[in-house]
Structures are given as structure tokens and as C-alpha cells.
Amino acid sequence: MEPKREKEQQDADCEKITAVLLKLRTGEFDLESILFLKLRGLGIHDLGCIGECVNLERLDLSGNNITNVTPLAALQLLSVLNLSANKISSLEPLRSCENLQNLNVAGNIISSIENLHCLVALRKLENIRLKDNTHNYSNSVCRSASYRTAVLEMFPSLKVLDGERVVGRGSDLYQLCKDIDETIKAGSYKNGQLVEHPDCKPWVEDSYWEIKRSNNAIIEEAYKQFNDVLHECRLLNNRATHVISQTEKSMSLKKQPKQYAI
């Protein structure tokens, strides 16, 4: 019976985020030094001491059994958060994550638009994913016919929703050029009639500004994921460089000949 209890205790420890787990996963001794953390598919249901990683910028907790995200409220520097494929119904604690830009909660149990009101104050939030057709992840809120319209009205600054660009090419320069083009066109009319200017030609064809649905969103999403991986590689490279430097210093000290006072 005793070995069985020990096994149950070990399994329980694996389901909770502990300082030991974080240090083993990242190689960092100080939790405040962790900037990027990936804990996918570990059966985690208790976020434990994750709030002590106060400098965390990117966090992947996808594919776990998380229901309560309260400990994430302490992560005010967090910019990218993946909580897909969990059992989350409330996002209320995330209102404190004021630097959040990218949030993936596809594959949870978010039931209504009201569950998203807590995120309205996050001014930097520009990418939200509540469903992911690639992995067949969704939320019950996505079944509403007015779902997309309601989300876009709630978050007017949103650039990407469920992997699709919201406004044209998602560029401020694009919007500026469009406004200028429309202003020029408006000046070409007099008393409701188009005034011909033989020397003037339009910048682009009339259909250029139309938003066309295509697979570009998939390419853009893949590019963003590639940048995330590249960022992780840079962090790992910096960490490896630091470890190598410390090791070289340590070896150099050991090789120095001992000096004895005469």
C-alpha cells in the first residue's frame, strides 16, 4: 500500500506546477529569470507557483487540464499566452495582464461573449483565437451567428481573429494609403459628377482595396509561429552562451597554478 501511495503522490506532483518542475524545464535557478516557458500536454490542472515567474513574456500551457487561471494575474509582462485545449470557462484573472498581445483559448468551455468583457481593458491585445479549425478546437460561444461581429465590436483594435486578418493587410500604412486614395477620389467629383483629369491616373485598380478571403491568413499565421520559434531559439542561444562563458571562466580558474607565499 505504501508504494502505491508514493506513486499517487508523484502523479499528483506532476499535475501541479512547482518550482522544481520549472527549473528542470528551463535550466534556470531563479524563477524570475524565466522569460519563455512551454509546458504542453503534461496533464497540469494546478498552476501552482507560475505567478512567481514575474518576468515571463511567452507562455504555452496548451493541452492540459487547467480550469482556474487566477495565478496568471501576476504575469504583467506576459505578451503571448497559449491556453488552448484546456477546461477554462473564465478569463477574468487575465484582465491584469496589461501587456498581453496574443491570446489563444481555442478548445475550452467559454460559453458567451460576456466572458470576454474582462479583456476589453487590454489595450495591446491584437490577436485572439477562440477556435482553431486545424486542430478542431472551438468554444461554445463560437456557435452564435453573431459571434464574429460581436467580438470585433468589443475589440475595435483587433488585427487577427481566429487566424484571419481583420482589416485588409493588417497594416497602418495600408489604412493610410486607402484613406488618401479615397480623399483623392472624393475630390474628383463636382456636383455629383465625375470630373475627368486626362493627366491623372489612379494609383491602383478599383478592386485593389477590396478585402479578399484566401489562404493568406494561414501563411501569416505560420509566419507568426515561425517568429515565435525563432524568438525561442534566440533565448536558448543567449542562455547557452552565458553557460559556456561561465564554464570557461570556471575551468580557467582551475587551471591557474597555485601560488605559495615564500
Residue-wise pLDDT tens digits, 160-194: 999 888 865 444 555 555 566 666 555 555 555 55
Cβ atoms of 33 and 55 closer than 8 Å: yes
Return the number of other C-beta atoms located less than 10 Å from residue 162's C-beta: 21
Q: What is the percent of the chain where pLDDT is above 70?
A: 66
pLDDT digits (tens, 9 = 90+) for 27-84: 888 999 999 999 999 999 999 999 999 999 999 999 999 999 999 999 999 999 999 9
Kindly state the cell numbers that stand for 68: 482556474
Query: pLDDT value at position 251?
Result: 78
Which of 90-94, 185-189, 254-258 reaches the highest mean pLDDT? 90-94
Spatial strand order of the sheet with 164-165 comes to 36-38, 58-60, 80-82, 102-104, 127-129, 160-161, 164-165
Which of 85-99, 132-146, 240-254 reaches the highest mean pLDDT? 85-99
- Cα distance between residue 114 and residue 119, in whole Å: 10
Domains of the chain with bracketed CATH: 1-166 (3.80.10.10)
Beta partners for residue 128, in sequence order: 103, 161
Kindly state the cell numbers that stand for 230: 525563432
- Cα distance between residue 12 and residue 114, in whole Å: 34
